[in-house]
Structure 1
Amino acid sequence: MPSQSPLHRPDVRTVPPFGPACAAALLTGTGLCLLAPVLPPVTASAGLCVLALYLWGRRWRARWCGALLFGFAWTALHGALALHRQLPPLLEKEELVVTGRVSGLPSHGARQTRFDFQIESADITERLDGRRVILSWYDDHDAKMPGPRVRLRAGERWRFAVKLRAPRGLRNPGGFDSERHAVAQRIAATGYVRKAFSARRLGKARGLMAWREQMSARIGQGVPASSSRFLRALALGDTRGLTDPDWQVLRASGLTHLIAISGFHVGMVAAALASLVGLLWRVGAWLPRHLPRPQAMAIASAFAGLGYAALAGFALPTVRTVLMMSVWALARLGRRPATVGQALALALSAVLLFDPLAPLTAGFWLSFAGVAWLAWCLPDDQTSPMWRSFLSAQAVATVGLLPLSVVLFDQASLLGPFLNLLAIPWWTLVVVPLSLLALALESIAPAAGLPIWRLAAACFDGLWPLIEACARSRLALWWLPEASIGALPLALLGALWLLLPRGVPGKPLALLLWCPLLWPNRQWPARGEVQVAVIDVGQGLSVLVQTHRHRLLYDTGPATRDGFDAGERAVVPALRAWGVSELDRMVLSHGDNDHAGGQASVHAALQVADSLAPPGMPALSPRLPAPVRPCVRGQAWRWDGVRFRVLHPDAHFPYLGNEASCVLRIETVHGSVLLTGDIGQVIERELLRSQPRAVRNEVVVVAHHGSGGSSDPGFVAASHARLALVASGHGNRFGHPRPEVVQRWQQAGAEVLDTARSGAIQVWLGAGGLSVRERRHAHARWWDAVERQQQWQSEPENPRKSLPGRGGDSL
């Protein structure tokens, strides 16, 4: 019989298929796929899955290789399916009539209602059947034929005329990646309701969501408004009532994980019911005869977690927690003793097999990392006092999860550990149980739970003022610049070193491993050099200019009536990710909303030493802390060897909106940059006539987002620009940038880059010449909307004819 190598010799004692080694390999393969810029072909992924299953199933010492390959291939298949289920970009301009059900709790605003909609059928394509979309219903969207906005209820069936668009978002450092979020949450499209007069309600509200909305309304009616929104979040996972200031307080205090039904709450409720069942099994002597106590506790915890997750509408984080507890319960029912590490590995494998895209969410990493740190560092000592165990667990979680928090959120709550010591036991052991008890009584008899809800509200109000006061402190939140990928493993190694048992030498040196994460290399421009970054704010403009020691912000992006504030959601996160905590000067080119709408949010978040704006520009906010001085021709200043000059408007030029835009030229020995605002061809020709040398620049931010009324041919030719930057929003209704304008700049020898396709664009002018970095290209991922749009546009067939039928989900 031929001999086998030791590596391939079957051995039942080798790596178990769902042990820690294979679970880590499975997670590694999943992570490698999620970091890939493109997905492999579906056929290749399917073939690799089969091969990986064979290698994973063999009893050999390297079976973890099979788990790693399977993690990569399985994630690639799920990623391809998630993209396949999204709306093709070529259908974005089509008006569709869709029928379906309101699948989430609608959010009712002053002029719009935003809601989840599960499509059952669409009129011109079957591609959207069964898809989840996010819709908005505006009051005044149809100006010609307005219709009343009906108050939607969860669980109702409706027929709407809608316009949809594939998931698409802004791409900036530190900003929210809505395209990744759409893939992780299986969102097929976003859109809005058209022709409100034709909307038809086809069925009454029913199901779990309708019950949740009914209970939420009862809390709102019977509990004071100051605390009812928090009780709805804690009892039902309904965060619709929480305001932006509420979320700011929660982030600063490190309590966002406690305010809604999360995996943590599901686990606590399951543990409480398991303890209650364990107590009953101790008291009732006859109960263990029918079912052993450990198995009874496991079953109770699984069903408690399932019931509490239902209150949250089976959100993905709670589903993952229920899955973890179910795996643990099955292991206990099988009467197979397992260590915490083995149980964690089994739960991790189950979650990744169920949803391999789960690592795209922050909750996945925080939940598993928290359990892993506690299992690794806390001793299994039943004799320790409860208070000591609680403090030890809090210390371990704080130190162990800090690197992940910095990487995931670019921030660290300095007061969070101390506030968690108060909030975790008080909210989890007092407020949440009272809320759930009231919820149970209210389900049996209306108004029966109101007294207990009011008691829970009083308990919550006792702690909330202290949390608000702490959150207002400057020490509450520490914003950190965007760190490199290599900084995370170093910081985790440092955390592991710090949490090793007492007596391990050199622990103070472990703090050095945190330096790349907490103080990354920001790469400021050298003296005489300049860095210009056009931030992706959609249809608007915001430009950060950095010299060696100074920072200037030119415009702040739009703030729309539906609640989008580019200053808050794009500009401030980007500045913080680049390590900018204060501005030496803010220049508002003019008062249009798409250029100055976000200035209030920027002022609220950062210190602004000085502001410039065109003479006569209407006051945008009477509460601006920094003085606003007129921006007029002839003004000049020098920072770190870089000269700034205002070219327009003159001191006596009337304020005419776009034409009064403040035009700023930035001059270095390595080249110059021109920021033009929204000037039109008349002002461009005047600049060419009066200041011909100032028109010539290496880099030009194209005026008015590339509209047809700007970029005069003579001005473009005289600029001799090497790089023309356009700030515009994807699919904007103005058609910016106009194709003829792009062609005009290209014929003049300039490379044209657009934030709608490139995301944030960074330009360096220094000793090394001119260099450019596009956010979407530098951080390319396979869910990138731009790449998907290019793939669809390359297909010659009509999308309405080439779409597959109801069986089209197969890949």
Structure 2
Amino acid sequence: MMLRMTSMAVGIALISLFSQLPPLALVLPILLSAVCLWLWRCYWLACFLAGACWGLFYGHQIVNSQLPVQWQQELLWVEGEVVGLPELSVSRGQPVSRFKLALSQAVCHRGAECHDGLKLLRLNWYQGLAIVPGQRWRLQVTLKRPYGMANPGGFDYQSWLIQQGIGGVGRVVEHPLNQQTGHNTGSVDYWRWQMAKKIDLVRPALQHKHLIKALLIGDKRGISRQQWELFAATGVTHLLVISGLHIGLVSALVFSLLRYPLLLLMPSQPAERWAALLALVCATAYALAAGFTLPTQRALIMIAVVMLRLVYRRHMAAGQGLIAALLGCLLHDPLAPISLSFWLSFAAVACLLYGGVGRYPVATVTAKLLSAQCLVFIGLLPVLAILLGQLSYISPLANILLVPLFSVVIVPANFIAALLSRLDLSLMLWRLVDILLACTMDYLTALFTFTEANRFYIASRPWPVMCLALIGVLLLLLPKGVPVKHYALLLLLPLIFYQQPKLPKGDLRLAVLDVGQGLSMVINTRNHTLVYDLGPEFSETFDTATAVVVPYLRYHGINSVDLLVLSHGDNDHAGGWQRFVSQIETRRLLYGEKPVAEFFMGGFCSAKAWQWDQVEFEFLQAINGQALSNSNNRSCVLKITVGESSFLLPGDIETSMELALVQRYGALLNADILIAPHHGSISSSSWPFVKTVSPDAVVVSSGYRNQFGHPHPSILDRYRALDMTTYSTSQAGALTFFVRNGKVSAPESFREQFQRYWLEGGD
């Protein structure tokens, strides 16, 4: 049975690795083949094909649930119900409501062609209207397909959107016929919203009510960016929001509390069965209260396997139960393997099961907790290094104290207070929870101070190093007395101390990162790193400097930069620079104009040249008083020359400055690769400038279907007319150029390297 379940799980997961889906017509032949193999008693292969069949069918449903490409940015009318908890925030000084709309009917384009596969939208409404869960709306919208930035080391936002079932993202267009058509006050999300509102109004004195709401109903809207960073750095994110741990805790608590009373009240009835059923019901209710997110759904499936085993009194080995839960999760969500929480959840449980085999039972509760924490910390060591790229040595110190505190006191007290919310006792319990959460935050803050200096970042490792680390962990978790266990640490050393090979002298790596509507590049020589621009800051909680550039540097094992160049002060080039310099050691900073009035470091990028590892760098500058009155024209223009190849980085300069540079430098502007000025705007890339530079290729860094229409079609036609190859970060993701032996090669596209079937259809 275990082999059959494993085979089916592998068949489902394998489809998620495909870059393109086989035709849907293959489902029936594959299914018939599986039936024939089953009749021939080749059970494991039949299960494998059945799993692949389900993965293939689900994949086509995912593709069909996305907005048709030709409907993007068209005016559409949609009708549906608000689900989840809407957010009201400020973006670039403008109030915006962000919410999800579950469509109640097919979407039609211009009243003719209709698409019934689209089920869920993620919308922004810049009117600042307070949206309430359960409201039914008829709205005019413009949409784009789910899309996200694609960079090495970065978060795959596009895959996350698709896994959530979101088929389109966009904004509400103001129209007099936009109207609310009803309100479903019986929805779970409306109850969650009411509970959150009640806690805000009735318990305003609670200092950490936002954390109380996060633990009670999965409302994470009040958690600040600084707090998220604190939780991540100390490894306790799973404790401060509803996770599989909390749902498992609730089910175990209910089962333990009901088992013996039921046995006394109903001695002739199977009390264990009833306790297990009630525990499963409570776990389901708690998962619903958390918004029934994918991580809580996976936890519920794992709990259901355990509880149903008790209900039906079927013996099941621990490993078999884990595989059954794994298969259940994949049947429910075949794209689960692309989720980080999926791997962390099952890896943690597997570590506890594998590490506990053949060991003597631990006597005290404290010893059990210590043992469990050690097993999970050791077992997840390579998983965290591979998936997250960092290790925090103090995570066990945080969890060893907080796991029992949350398990035994905070979560149960919070839950009971909610049930007794109409009584005075609830206020006493919530005050207790608030005090304990305050102590928790103080404790984490103290640990965080230590963590900042002792966090260990793991750069990208080759697969042999990662395999050795996994084998080493398996050996470390073996019982005492196994001779080879002592040599396991040697297998972990490459993971910790491996250094990525340096570029040879005279070679260069230049990466144009995908930062949406903005610009950021990282240039590496053998011993030096230059960062040119950081992309935009979208809000107080998100900027590409920390979401894209910093992860890229960590991915390549770079913890400091020799020079940061901010071409000019516009947000799409210098956004989030303060957060960047606080996380990455920046030895020098140059800029075209001061990003802020009060500046503590750096200077202007005046015309000068220098050399790093046989690579020539030079700032180009032309004096034109009228042109320099424009912020874009004050951009730092950088030329990089290595051997026979050269790159020109002109920032956002416009036609007047381009002509001034042509007049001053002439043929010296010639370069093999040109970064399109001002993202391909109509105000740049003048004929004289482009012909003088005469590049073989042009890279346009712009946002996917951005509101400015960059790159402008006439500019693209100009590049084509001059026989220049054009690349776009919105289509290719991060583009990486290598110069080896003085010659530049065609760029590597991140999207092409990591293409998956659900990412098809972008243009």
Q: Verify: 1:348 aligned to 2:331, yes or no.
A: no
The residue correspondences of 1:292-307 to structure 2 (distance < 5 A) are 293-307=271-285
Residue 596 (structure 2) aligns with: 620
Q: Distance in 2 between matches of 1:484 and 1:743?
A: 42
Q: What displacement does 1:90 show?
A: 1.2
1:574-600 Cα deviation digits (max 9, x unpaired): 222222211111111111111112322
1:448–1:92 Cα change, 3 Å: farther
Q: Matched residue of 2:418: which SS?
A: helix
Matches within 5 A, 1:17-36: 19=2, 21-36=3-18
Give the structure 2 partner of residue 78 of structure 1.
58
Structure 1 CA distance, aligned partners of 2:361 and 2:508?
A: 61
Q: 2:70 is matched with which residue: 83, 90, 111? A: 90
Counterpart CA distance in 2 for 1:481 and 1:315 is 31
Segments of 4+ moved more than 6 angstroms? none
Distance 1:228 1:762, change over 3 A: same
Partner Cα distance (1:466, 1:651) in 2: 57
Task: Measure the CA separation in 1 of the matches of 2:540 and 2:186.
Answer: 29
Kept after mapping to 2: 8 A contact 1:39/1:782: yes
Residue identity matched to 2:8: L
Q: Which residue of 2 aligns with 1:119?
A: 103
SS, match of residue 574 in structure 1: helix
Q: Which residue of 2 aligns with 1:556?
A: 534
- 1:796 corresponds in structure 2 to none
* C-alpha spacing 1:619/1:537, structure 2 compared with 1 (3 Å): closer
Aligned residue for 1:714, secondary structure, equals helix
How far apart, CA to CA, are the structure 2 residues paired with 1:151 and 1:137?
A: 10
Asked if the contact 1:79/1:183 (under 8 Å) is kept, the reply is no
Aligned residue identity for 1:777:
E
When normalised by structure 2's length, the TM-score is: 0.93
Q: What's 2:698 paired with?
A: 724
Alpha-carbon spacing, 1:562–1:82, altered in 2? closer, same or farther (3 Å)? farther
For 2:609, which of 619, 627, 636 is the aligned residue? 636
C-alpha distance in structure 1 between counterparts of 2:163 and 2:331, whole Å? 14
Which residue is 1:750 aligned to?
724
| Between 216-225 and 113-122, the greater mean CA deviation after superposition | 216-225
Q: 1:88–1:313: structure 2 CA closer, same or farther, 3 Å change rule?
A: same
Q: Does 1:417 align with 2:368?
A: no
Identical columns (%): 32
Output the amino acid matched with 1:620.
V
Deviations 1:361-389 (Å, cap 9, x if unpaired)?
12221222221221111147556322212
2:583 counterpart (589, 599, 605):
605
CA deviations over 1:179-216 (Å, ceiling 9, x no partner): 21122111111111111654322223332111111111
2:126 to 125, 138, 152: 138
CA contact (8 A) 1:252 1:476 kept: no
Deviation at 1:331, TM superposition (A): 2.5
Which residue is 2:147 aligned to?
168
1:157 maps to 136
How many Å apart are 1:618 and its aligned residue?
A: 4.1
Helix, strand or coil at the partner of 2:405: helix
Asked whether the 8 Å contact 1:46–1:77 carries over to 2, the reply is no
- Cα deviation for residue 660 of structure 1 reads 1.7
* Change in 2 beyond 3 A, CA 1:126/1:104: farther
User: 250, 253, 261: which is aligned to 1:272?
Assistant: 253
Say what the alpha-carbon RMSD is for the aligned residues: 2.3
One-letter amino acid of the counterpart of residue 578, structure 1:
H
1:242-293 alpha-carbon deviations (Å, 9 max, x no partner): 01101000000001111111111111111111111223245x1x524111x4
User: Using the alignment, how far apart are the partners of 1:129 and 1:748 within structure 2?
Assistant: 43
2-side partners of 1:392 and 1:262: how far apart?
22
Instruction: Report the CA distance between 1:560 and its aligned residue.
Output: 3.0
Where 1:397 maps in the other structure, the secondary structure is helix
Structure 2 residue 198 is matched with structure 1 residue 218:
yes
2:162, 2:464 → 1: CA distance?
A: 26
CA contact (8 A) 2:206 2:434 kept: no
2:746 counterpart of 1:778: no
Unaligned runs of 5+ in 2: none
- Following the alignment from structure 2 to structure 1, what is the Cα–Cα distance between the partners of residues 220 and 690? 51
Query: Which residue of the other structure, out of 310, 332, 341, is the alignment partner of 1:363?
Result: 341
Alignment of 1:376-387 (within 5 A): 376-379=354-357, 381-382=360-361, 384-387=363-366
In 2, the alpha carbon distance for the partners of 1:106 and 1:448 equals 31
* Matches of 1:475 and 1:680, distance apart in 2: 44
Structure 1 length-normalised TM: 0.88
2:757 & 2:299 partners in 1: Cα distance? 27
Give unpaired runs (5+ residues) of structure 1.
1-15, 140-148, 791-811
Match of 2:223 in 1: 242
State the SS of the aligned residue for 2:240: coil
Partner of 1:228: 209
User: Within 1, Cα distance between the matches of 2:486 and 2:661?
Assistant: 61
Pick aligned residue for 2:504 from 526, 536, 548: 526
| Secondary structure of the corresponding residue to residue 579 of structure 2 | helix
Q: 1:421 and 1:485, CA in 2 relative to 1: closer, same or farther beyond 3 A?
A: same
State the match for 2:449 in structure 1: 472
Q: Render the CA deviation track for 1:327-348: whole Å, top value 9, x for unaligned.
A: 3333323222121112222222
- Structure 2 match to 1:181: 160
Matching residue within 651, 655, 663 for 1:681: 655
- Cα distance change of structure 1 residues 296 and 584 upon mapping to structure 2, 3 Å threshold: same
1:413 Cα offset (Å): 2.2
Tell me the SS of whatever aligns to 1:195: coil
Give 3-state SS (helix, strand or coil) of 1:483's partner. coil
Q: Tell me whether 1:287 sits opposite 2:266 in the alignment.
A: yes
Matched with 1:809 is none
In structure 2, the residue corresponding to 1:405 is in which secondary structure?
helix
* Range with greater deviation from structure 2 (526-535 or 478-487): 478-487
The amino acid of 1:106's aligned partner reads P
Letter in 1 for 2:328: A
How big is each residue's C-alpha offset from its partner over 1:435-479, in whole Å with a ceiling of 9 and x where there is no partner?
A: 10011112xx37762332122111211221110121133245333
The amino acid of 1:99's aligned partner reads E
Which residue pairs with 1:375 in the alignment?
Answer: 353
* Offset of residue 563 of structure 1: 5.3
The AA in structure 2 aligned to 1:94 is E
Counterpart code for 2:664: S
**1:486 positional shift:** 5.0
Taking the aligned partners of 2:501 and 2:637, their CA distance within structure 1 comes to: 28
Shift of 1:317: 1.7
477-486 or 496-505, which deviates more: 477-486
Equivalent residues of 1:223, 1:454 under 8 A apart: no
2:196 paired with 1:193 = no
- What amino acid maps onto 1:91 in structure 2? W
User: Quick one: structure 1 residues 703 and 710, their matched pair in 2 at CA, closer, same or farther if it must change by over 3 Å?
Assistant: same
The secondary structure found in structure 2 opposite 1:600 is: helix
Output the CA distance in 2 between the equivalents of 1:73 and 1:412: 38
Deviations 1:767-787 (A, max 9, x none): 273222110111111122xx3
Which of these residues, 672, 679, 699, is aligned with residue 698 of structure 1? Answer: 672
CA distance, structure 1, for counterparts of residue 300 and residue 272 of structure 2: 18
- Tell me if the contact between 1:99 and 1:157 (Cα under 8 Å) persists in the aligned partners: yes
Q: Could you say if the C-alpha distance between residues 484 and 71 of structure 1 is closer, same or farther in structure 2, counting changes exceeding 3 Å? A: farther
Tell me the matched-pair count.
749
Distance 1:503 1:512 in 2: 18
| Alpha-carbon distance in 2 for matches of 1:507, 1:381 | 18
CA distance in 2, matches of 1:241, 1:638: 49
User: Paired residue for 2:469, among 484, 488, 491?
Assistant: 491
Secondary structure, counterpart of 2:169 in structure 1: strand
Moved more, 240-249 or 77-86: 77-86
Q: Does 1:69 align with 2:49?
A: yes
